[in-house]
Amino acid sequence: MEENNTNKGKDRFRYSDYYKSKYPSIFRNSEEKKEPIKGVTEVKPVQEKAPEQNIIQEKKQKVSIFKKLFKKKVMPKTIIKEQPKIEEKQVKLVSEIIPRKTEKLTQTDLQKIEKIMREENKPRKENILKILLLLVVIGTLVYISYIFYANFLLSKDIMYYYDIGSSEDAKNPYLFPENRTTPIDNLTSSRNITSWLVYFSVPASKDSLISIQTRYKKNFPAGYQMTLGARDQEDWHYKYKELEEFDDNTWTLGEVQFDVKNDSLVTRNKEISMLFDLTYLAKPEYQKYTVPIDWITITVHKPGLIEKLNNLY
């Protein structure tokens, strides 16, 4: 009997499918959606959510918990503004700490979250420090490169101006010894050389080219000319050169050049000793022929590495 009943059930389903396919218009009207009866609410069947939807819903709930906590406690404003960008990371962090569905967190959970957030923010601070350190290193290298370029690669001219008779000359006289020059003449702001050997110093290095220009009055006996000497030996010995003269109203401009290397000049404490050699003043009959000196201009040319290499080739 049970087998017959089951067969009948099967036949009923089979016949219903057969008639549905044969008379679709009849069965279509019966299967149309019925209008709801007034006063009666239709109860819809409860659809179970897929496992994936449950996971997404759980993650969203954890993120909302995370936001509520860190808006007040831990999260900086910059991170709050960038919530969409770091939401996945937040979900991952919270999932590790809060594996359960709950809004009640213990103090231990809060401490763990704070520790993780500090570790997340730490690389940013380290990156800023690295950038600042890199900028400092680059700035230091640029500064060292400039110093090297300016002092060693490039040639440069250094000018020294000795204003004879000025207030600076009164404090620290440029010409020495003082007993071989007159006191300062306030009318002309100059000094007179009264002896045949009067010295002054020139700052220079071993490979410098020195150009000296001086302004003086040509108060010489007939047949004499202004001569400058530069020390070329360790003992008392000088190399002498006559000045090329140019007229400047009542004064005379004299110019001469010395090459420290080619003239074999001697430097002491990075200075070279120079002297005015007026040999006629050593004779008593020429003592009245003193020579006024107005100023001395010294130009020291220091060749750089580039110029030195060019001179070799």
Half-sphere CA count of 288, side-chain side, radius 13 A: 2
- Tell whether 34 is covered by a domain: no
- Tell whether 45 is covered by a domain: no
Half-sphere CA count of 78, side-chain side, radius 13 A: 3
Q: Where a domain ends, among 134, 153, 172? A: 153
The residue among 86, 62, 81, 61 whose CA lies nearest residue 71 is 81
Q: 121: Cβ–Cβ under 8 A, 6 or more apart, which residues?
A: 76, 79
Domain count within the chain: 2
Both 160 and 308 in one domain: the answer is yes
Q: What token pair was written down for 174?
A: 């440029």
Both 176 and 124 in one domain: the answer is no
User: Residue 15: its pLDDT value, please?
Assistant: 45
Both 302 and 174 in one domain: the answer is yes
Q: What token pair was written down for 84?
A: 């969409």
pTM for the whole thing?
0.56
Q: Where a domain ends, among 153, 188, 215? A: 153
- Tell whether 98 is covered by a domain: yes
Q: What token pair was written down for 279?
A: 């040999």
Both 162 and 120 in one domain: the answer is no
Strand 244-248 versus strand 238-242 pairing type: unpaired
Distance in angstroms (rounded) separating the CA atoms of residues 126 and 114: 18
Distance in angstroms (rounded) separating the CA atoms of residues 162 and 297: 6
Query: Structural domain of residue 303, as residue ranges?
Result: 156-312
What is the domain-level CATH number for residue 176? Answer: 2.60.120.260
By CB neighbour count within 10 A (0-12 exposed, 13-18 middle, 19+ buried), where does 216 fall? buried
Q: What token pair was written down for 280?
A: 């006629």
Both 149 and 273 in one domain: the answer is no
Both 160 and 306 in one domain: the answer is yes
User: Residue 306: its pLDDT value, please?
Assistant: 82
User: Residue 311: its pLDDT value, please?
Assistant: 77
Both 289 and 142 in one domain: the answer is no
Q: Read off the pLDDT of residues 70-106 as tens digits, 9 standing for 90 and up.
A: 554 444 444 444 444 444 555 555 555 555 544 555 6
Whether the ω angle into residue 177 lies within 30 degrees of 0, i.e. cis, is yes
- Tell whether 194 is covered by a domain: yes
SS3 assignment, position 141? helix
User: Residue 243: its pLDDT value, please?
Assistant: 94
Q: Where a domain ends, among 153, 179, 213? A: 153
Both 234 and 184 in one domain: the answer is yes
Distance in angstroms (rounded) separating the CA atoms of residues 300 and 159: 6
What Å distances lie between residue 215 and 39, 89, 184, 191, 302, CA to CA? 125, 83, 16, 11, 24
Q: 264: Cβ–Cβ under 8 A, 6 or more apart, which residues?
A: 232, 239
Both 194 and 298 in one domain: the answer is yes
Residue ranges in the chain modelled with pLDDT below 70? 1-107, 109-110, 113-126, 313
Both 230 and 263 in one domain: the answer is yes
- Tell whether 211 is covered by a domain: yes
Residue located via tokens 């202004």:
226
Q: Read off the pLDDT of residues 130-163 as tens digits, 9 standing for 90 and up.
A: 889 999 999 999 999 988 888 788 888 999 999 9
Q: 101: Cβ–Cβ under 8 A, 6 or more apart, which residues?
A: 58, 61
- Tell whether 8 is covered by a domain: no
- Tell whether 285 is covered by a domain: yes
User: Residue 287: its pLDDT value, please?
Assistant: 87
Both 68 and 148 in one domain: the answer is yes
User: Residue 251: its pLDDT value, please?
Assistant: 94
Both 217 and 269 in one domain: the answer is yes
